[in-house]
Amino acid sequence: MITVIIIVLTLIAIYLYNTRNFNYWKKRGIKYQKPVPFFETNTENFLLRKSYTETLTNWYKCYPNEKVVGFFRASIPGLLIRDPELIKRVLITDFAHFYERGLHPDKDGIEPLLQNSFFAEGDLWRLLRQRMTPAFTSGKLKAMFPLIVERAKHLQARALAASWEGSAIDARDLMARYTADFIGACGFGLNAGSLNEENSAFRKLGQEIFEFNFKMALTTILKDLVPTLTRSLKYMDRVENQVFSLVKQILEERNYKISNRDDFIDLMIDCKNKGSIEVESLQKVKPDGKPELARLELTDKLIAAQVFVFFAAGFETSSSATSYTLHQLAHNPEAQKKVQKEIDDVLSKHDNKLSYEAIKNMSYLEWTFKEGMRLFPSLGYLARKCTKKYTFTDLNFTIDEGVFIIIPVQGINTDPQYFDEPLKFRPERFSPRNISETNKYVYLPFGDGPRACIGARLGLMQSLAGLAAILSKFTVEPAPETKKHLTVEPKFDIVQNIEGGLPLRFIER
C-alpha cells in the first residue's frame, strides 16, 4: 500500500512540475498552442508523425495575423517569431539577450563532442568563435579549392558509371558521398574514398552520426523533461570514441605541427599554437559593471569537437541542399538548361576546368541553389534562448530568462506575403534586382548575426562546385520511381531529410 501511495505521489509531483508553466502565455495575452501534459505542444513530433520543422511550419500558418505565437518545449515556454523586424532584433539588434541557441537543455552538462561552435553557449561559444573565424577567410577558402576540384572529378566519375548502367541514382546518397569525401580531404587531410568505396568507413561515420534509433528518441525526450537528472545520458556516445581517436591519431602523426595541407586540422593546430584565447565575458561582470575576462586553452578534445561539427554540419546540410536542388532541376528543365548554359559559358573562359574564380562567376547557379534552399532549407528553423528578461515594447509583454525562441525558416520561406507563388521553383527570385532590404530577414538558410553559420561560405562554395561538376556533364531527369511531392523524414530534428531518398536519372550530355 505504501508503495502504491509513493508511486501515485510521484506521478502527481511529475505532473505538477510538468504543467507548472502552462498559463505562461495566457497571463501575457499571447495566443499560443495549447499544451498536453508530458507531450506539451510536440505530440506530433514525439509520436514521429511529423518532423519538428513541419510542426513549426503548421503553427506559423495557423496564426497569420500574429507577430508571435506561444508554445511549450517540455515545461519551458517557447515563442515562435513570425515578424521580420522582431527576427532582426533577436538575431542582431538585441543579441545580448539571445546569444544562446538553447538546443541542449542542460548547458552545464553538455557532452564533450557538443562543446563546439554550433552547440556551445555563452563564453565557451564566444571564445571558440573568436579563434575560429580567421579560419574561414577568402584566402583560406581559395587555398582549399584544389581539394574540392579533385573530389568533384570523383563525383563525375561515379555518376558516369551509374549513367552507363542506365539505372537511377539516389541523388541524396551521391551528394552525401561527395560531401563526405570533401570533408575527409578538407577537414582531416584524408582520402575518405566515399565516392568509390561502397563500405567507406568515413561514409559510415556520417550515417552513424545521424542515425536515429529508440535510444536516441528516449534520450531526447528525457533530456527535455528532466535535463539535470539525465546528465549522464549522451546523444553522441556511439561515435564519441571514434571521433576522438581519429583526431588524436592525426594530431600525433603531424606532431601537432601544420602540415601545409591547408585543411581544417591544420587550421585547428594553428589556433592551438596561438595559445590561450581571451575575450570579454558574456556571462560575468565585475562589481563596476564591466565584463570580466574569459579565457580558454584549446585542448585536443575541444579540437575534436570542432572537427566533429565541421564534419556533421557540412555532411548533412550540404548533401541535403544539393540533392534537393538537383531534384527541383529534374522537374524544371527550363531552369536546368539556363544553369547548364551558364556553366558551359563560364567554363569555356577557364580552360574548361573548375576553379575558385569560375564558381564565383556562376551567378545563375548560385540563384538556383538558393532557391532550392528556400523551398527546403537544410535547417528548417533557428533556435535561440532568452538569457535575461526582455520586453517586446511594441507588443507590450515581457519574457523571462530561459524562454525558448524559434524562428520558423521553412514557414517564412513559403509565405506568399514575402515570396510570390512561394511553392514555385524560380531561381530569378535571387537576382540582385529582385532582392531588397525589406525581405532581408525572411531568407535565413545560414542564420544571421553573430551566431550565423561560420562555415556558410565554405558550404556554399563546395555545394556550387558539386552542382557545377554534375550539370556540366549530365542532365538530370525524373526516374520512374521519382516522387515529385516529397515526404519529410519525421525522426530528424535540426537538419531536414527526405524519406526514401531522391532517385534521379543522370543522362550524359
Give the DSSP H/E element, type plus range, for residue 184: helix 171-188
Residue 376 · residue 423 · CB < 8 Å: no
Most confident by average pLDDT, 300-314, 386-400, 477-491: 386-400
Is the model more confident about 405 or about 308? 405
Q: Please determine, for residue 69, whether its predicted confidence score (pLDDT) is greater than 70.
A: yes
Q: Please determine, for residue 213, whether its predicted confidence score (pLDDT) is greater than 70.
A: no
453 is in an annotated binding site: yes
- Domain residue spans in the chain? 107-320+480-509
In angstroms, the CA 122 to CA 284 distance is: 10
DSSP-derived secondary structure for 188-244: HS----TTT-TT-HHHHHHHHHT---HHHHHHHHHHHHSTGGGTT--SSHHHHHHHH
* Each residue's pLDDT tens digit, 342-378: 999 999 999 999 999 999 999 999 999 999 999 999 9
Q: What is the pTM of this model?
A: 0.88
138 class by beta-carbon count within 10 Å (0-12 exposed, 13-18 middle, 19+ buried): exposed
Q: How confident is the model at residue 106 (pLDDT cuts 50, 70, 90)?
A: low
Local structure of residue 156 (DSSP, 8 states): H
* Each residue's pLDDT tens digit, 121-175: 989 999 988 888 877 788 878 888 888 888 898 899 888 888 887 788 999 989 9
In angstroms, the CA 224 to CA 230 distance is: 9
Q: How far is CA 278 from CA 119, 294, 297, 307, in A?
A: 20, 6, 9, 21
* Each residue's pLDDT tens digit, 37-58: 666 667 676 677 788 899 999 9
- Taking alpha carbons only, the member of 495, 482, 479 closest to residue 380 is 495
* Mean of all residue pLDDT scores within the chain: 84
Please measure the distance between the N-terminal and C-terminal CA atoms of the chain and give it in whole angstroms: 78
Residue 75 · residue 17 · CB < 8 Å: yes
Q: What is the pLDDT of residue 8?
A: 64
* Each residue's pLDDT tens digit, 429-457: 999 888 765 567 899 989 999 999 888 88
Q: Hey, which CATH number is domain 107-320+480-509, 1.25.40.10, 1.10.630.10, 3.40.50.880, 1.20.200.10?
A: 1.10.630.10
